[in-house]
Amino acid sequence: MTVAPSAAATRAAPAARPRDPDILATIGATPLVALDRLFPPERFRVYAKCERFNPGGSIKDRAARSMIEHALSTGELVPGVSTVVESTSGNLGVALAQLCNFHRLRLICVTDPRTAPQNTAIMRAYGAAVEVVDRDPESGEYLPSRIRRVRELLRSVPGAYWPDQYGNEHNARAHHHTMREIHEALPGAPDYLFVAAGTTGTLRGCAEYIAAEGLPTRVVAVDAVGSVIFGPPEPWERGHHRTIPGHGAAVVPPLLRTGLADRVVKMTDLDCVRGCRSLLAEESILAGGSSGAVTAALLDAAPGITQGATCVAILPDGGDRYLDTIYSDSWVESRFG
Ligand code: PMP
């Protein structure tokens, strides 16, 4: 008696299945939404690139993935062996904590008291060690103290690796993709890009894409009052202690190149509050401090923006971690009256 081969036996061997996406595959491809209520479209259009939709909640997921995966590919980082050490005001720490946990790397984050307690708690939940430093007695800033502590750890911890977000080209390179996503989501190139500057990774990556593609996009860099990124502070800025983390820096980032921005604007902490609260009231977007600065910069620039222009604002994170500051009436009142 002959037995017919079963259907399974006659079927061709299945092709190897592509790897299913893991959580890190959800980094990027963030939504670009219209801000038609805050900026009436009859004059010009404004779109917001909402980076809070990254799995770690901020734009820094892109930079963290780019820096860590490059170091893994070169063997500078070895899973189960290496310890990543980084200075971060919060968002990069969360992003690195997620990446390091995923790739079985130890992580020590050096932060300062401006870091939102929720950020610290999230870093610890992912298994990171968190150290908090005080202001540098000379400059009154936190960054010099953070960098000093990172250097000490690099000397004392075996297998320590410093991504160095302020100088790492792979931080900037991650944002070629950010700008590509913006470009591809719109019918044409935007006329203006408003981007917050901290390490200047986002600014440089977006500006490099714009230059490489020959786009006519004008780039407005949004810095913080008191920051030194684009030059020494004016006399009136001295003594302005920034309390809202994210944009602005107390050092000139080695990543910065001349000519990346067509214009630089410096915003105060109160501008951050103004922008955030406008986004919330008009657009129902609960955004972070630097998003408020970017939005306030756009509101201020509105009279000079040409009729029919398309503007894009990058909103680096969400407002959940600013509930005790920007979205707290008592904090705003105690700070600004
Ligand atoms: N906004 C927020 C909330 C951030 O965390 C950062 C990164 N420190 C920035 C803006 C600045 O981005 P970049 O470091 O790419 O200049």
Encode pLDDT of 105-146 as tens digits. 999 999 988 888 889 999 999 999 999 999 999 988 888 899
Cα(239) to centroid of ligand 1, in Å?
22
Cα(201) to centroid of ligand 1, in Å?
8
Q: Which amino acid appears at position 202 of this protein?
A: T
Q: Which residue has the tokens 């009859």?
A: 42
Q: Which residue has the tokens 């955030």?
A: 276
Q: Measure the CA–CA gap between 164 and 181, rounded to whole angstroms.
A: 25
Between strands 218-224 and 192-196, the pairing is parallel
**CB 115 near ligand 1, within 6 Å:** no
**Position 1 confidence tier, pLDDT thresholds 50, 70, 90:** very low
Note the Cα 314 to chain centre separation in Å: 9
Ligand 1 site-directed mutation target among 51, 60, 119, 123, most atoms within 8 Å of CB: 60
User: Which ligand 1 atom minimizes the distance to the CA of 288?
Assistant: 3
Assess contact for 333 and 261: CB atoms under 8 A: no
Q: Which amino acid appears at position 175 of this protein?
A: H
Between strands 192-196 and 160-161, the pairing is unpaired
Q: Give Dmax over CA atoms of the chain in angstroms.
A: 99
Would you call 96 helix, strand, or coil by DSSP? helix
CB atoms within 10 A of CB 34: 13
The residues with which 115 forms a beta bridge, in sequence order, are: none
Provide φ and ψ at 94, rounded to 5°. Answer: -65, -45
**Position 18 confidence tier, pLDDT thresholds 50, 70, 90:** confident
- Lowest model confidence (mean pLDDT) among 87-96, 261-270, 285-294, 304-313: 87-96
- Whole-number Cα distances in Å, 117 to 91, 275, 292: 12, 23, 20
| Of 250 and 63, the one with more pLDDT | 63
Q: Measure the CA–CA gap between 105 and 57, rounded to whole angstroms.
A: 20
Report the share of the chain in percent with pLDDT over 70: 96
- Whole-number Cα distances in Å, 159 to 85, 147, 181, 335: 10, 18, 36, 43
CATH class label, 60-161: alpha beta
Cα(114) to centroid of ligand 1, in Å?
14
Ordered alpha helix ranges (H), the chain? 7-10, 60-74, 91-102, 117-125, 143-156, 169-185, 201-213, 269-283, 289-301, 329-336
pTM to 2 decimal places: 0.93
Report the length, in residues, of the chain. 337
Select from 121, 28, 169 the least CA-distant residue to 109: 121
Between strands 129-132 and 160-161, the pairing is unpaired
**CB 202 near ligand 1, within 6 Å:** yes
Cα(249) to centroid of ligand 1, in Å?
10
Assess contact for 117 and 133: CB atoms under 8 A: no
User: Which ligand 1 atom minimizes the distance to the CA of 91?
Assistant: 5
The residues with which 266 forms a beta bridge, in sequence order, are: 223
**Can you give the pLDDT at residue 142?**
85
Select from 221, 306, 275 the least CA-distant residue to 35: 275
**Can you give the pLDDT at residue 11?**
57
**Can you give the pLDDT at residue 143?**
83
Q: Is the pLDDT of residue 179 over 60?
A: yes
What's the DSSP call for residue 198? S
Q: Which residue has the tokens 């390490």?
A: 199
Q: Where in the chain is the domain with CATH 3.40.50.1100?
A: 27-55+177-332, 60-161
Q: Is the pLDDT of residue 2 over 70?
A: no
Dig out the tokens for 226 from the structure.
């008191």
Q: What is the CATH number of domain 27-55+177-332?
A: 3.40.50.1100
Geometric angle at alpha carbon 203, from 43 and 55, rounded to 5°: 95
Dig out the tokens for 240 from the structure.
């302005």
Name 201's Cβ contacts closer than 8 Å, sequence gap at least 6: 63, 165, 168, 171, 172, 174, 175, 255
